[in-house]
Amino acid sequence: MQKILLLTFFAISLAFSCYLPPVYLFTDTKMLPKFYLCLLGVACGGLLGAMAKLKGKQLPSFEVVFPMASVAFVVVSVLECLYVAGDIVAVGFRPSGECGTFENPAGLALNLCVAIPPAMHLLRTGKEQWMQVLSALAVGLLVAALLSTRSRTGLICLSFYGVVYAGMGIHHFVGKRVVRRGLYAVLVAAVAVGMIAYVGSHKTESTSGRTFILMRSWELVKEHPLVGHGRGGFEREYMLRQAAYFREHPDSELAVLADEIHHPLNEFVRLWVDGGMAAPVLLLVLLTLPLWIAFRERNAELRVLGLPLVAVFLFSCFSYPFLFPVAWLVVGATTVLSVVRMWRPSRRQERMVSSITLAASLALIVLTVNDAVQEYRWNQAYHHSFKEMEALEEYEELHGYFSRDPYFLYNYAMAAFKRGDLDRADRLIGECGKYRNGYNRELLAGDICLYRHEYADAATHYEMANCMCPVRFAPLEGLYKVYEAKGDTARRKWVAKLIAEKKVKVHSWDVMRIKENCK
């Protein structure tokens, strides 16, 4: 009984970590808390499992674990759907799609896509009528919430599920093999044509933007195809490549779509840019090997997790699933099951693995708690920076721990700039450029140089920011201030004319202010 209670608590904590509401103890209020709870849940589960194995106790079988984990994840997912429904009733549908407890619709769509197969499994295997009714309601809520995200990748995933479950129905009700194959072909062709037509006619600007990002990313891949640009290579190099493109093509129609990019919207490309050819191949193996084992050896355990793994694969092709805990949980679970299926350890090897798991779990708990404490201190320093000079000293104490975190370095540089410590701000924004380059960094670097009266450097940074995101007005305002400070009337009027003639993509008070001030 105690073992079942612990297992239930473990399953609920992992499921809840995927949908954890915002926690305002950290600068990242939505994603970081989810990862902390997920890591602590995994570490505690590994700790308890390793201790049980070392004591010679038998761990619960997959037949016990999976139904409990499925029910927990489906229940928490349904609660998220009800939260989304309440948000729709309160504020209406959001034009960009519903986000739920996530920063954007992609995270919600991925989690719902992972939840649908377990809900369908409960519907198909439920023996009691009330269980089937509840499972059917859960599936309906999950599909409705998924559609409300307006995620094209989510819709592709849902269409794939439709083909799979319709194929199961055809296999069950149609006896003749020739007829079955014909119906399969018609079904797949109809869904494929429908999806191509939908993707081609909806969000065409988004499709053009994605294509542009992939083309610039492929240029980075071709520079170092085997070894990559190193850890953080994409964030360090991509925006420089985007700026180079718009410097060479100032009249490009794509300029209006340009924004600050943190991810190429393809996990395989991101890994290739950072780690070279071996990195995306490894991810492909992790995403496909369990499926191959499941169908080659008719492994029912892996087959159950096959569709969630396909969801992660599809999102890896068109989005950034590994920014969310659920993708790590799915890949981790299928990898562990694959290893267990292929490797039968001896008793001595089991004890060795249990000892390593015990040590790793303890280390993970310590590291996670320590990181949470440091992130909390960063959040405190951030809020203090608006009203207390001592906040810079708090930032300096944290500098050693976050010395390679570009977001911290940018945040610290901004705090120093606002407090008038220009030398410190200049040093920090330079450190930030070692790990990440982008529009906001160039803009802040330009502001720092402007206030230090280093006008040539300020103009260089503002011009770089303008090339990175040609649709923005702030870099032109910076150039206007540079030429005004230098007394260069001709160039100041030239910039003023550019601002006056520049088309406004999104009307805002800030844009109107810039247009008015730089007449």
CATH of the domain at 379: 1.25.40.10
Residue 222 has a pLDDT of 94
User: Burial code of 93-131, b = ≥16 C-beta within 10 A, e = fewer?
Assistant: eeeebbbbbbebbbbbbbbbbbbbbbbbbbbeeeeeeee
C-alpha to C-alpha distance for 338 and 332, rounded to whole angstroms: 10
Q: What's the domain range around 414? A: 369-517
Cα→Cα distances 510→260, 278, 450, 504, 507, Å: 18, 46, 20, 11, 8
Residue 65 has a pLDDT of 77
- Taking the alpha carbons at both ends of the chain, their separation in whole angstroms is 76
Cβ neighbours of 6 (radius 10 Å): 16
Rg of the chain in Å (alpha carbons): 26
In a domain, 84, yes or no: no
DSSP 503: P
CB 479 within 8 A of CB 510: no
Residue 203 has a pLDDT of 64
Instruction: Tell me the two tokens of residue 325.
Output: 């805990």
List all residues 6 or more positions away from 421 whose beta carbon is below 8 Å from its beta carbon.
Answer: 392
**Residues lower than pLDDT 70 in the chain:** 1-5, 62-63, 172, 175, 199-205, 297-302, 389
Residue 2 has a pLDDT of 57
Cα→Cα distances 461→126, 428, 501, Å: 62, 15, 22
Cα→Cα distances 137→86, 143, 231, 436, Å: 17, 10, 44, 46
CB 158 within 8 A of CB 146: yes
C-alpha to C-alpha distance for 193 and 163, rounded to whole angstroms: 13
Helix (H, G, I), strand (E, B) or coil at 386: coil
Instruction: Tell me the two tokens of residue 151.
Output: 């995620």
Nearest to 74 by CA among 31, 36, 126: 126
In a domain, 506, yes or no: yes
In a domain, 445, yes or no: yes
In a domain, 415, yes or no: yes
In a domain, 127, yes or no: no
Mean predicted lDDT score pLDDT of the chain: 89
What's the number of domains the chain is made of?
1
Residue 215 has a pLDDT of 94
Residue 56 has a pLDDT of 77
Q: How many residues does the chain have?
A: 519
In a domain, 324, yes or no: no
C-alpha to C-alpha distance for 459 and 495, rounded to whole angstroms: 12
In a domain, 97, yes or no: no
C-alpha to C-alpha distance for 118 and 139, rounded to whole angstroms: 9
Q: Identify the helix (H) or strand (E) that includes residue 226.
A: none
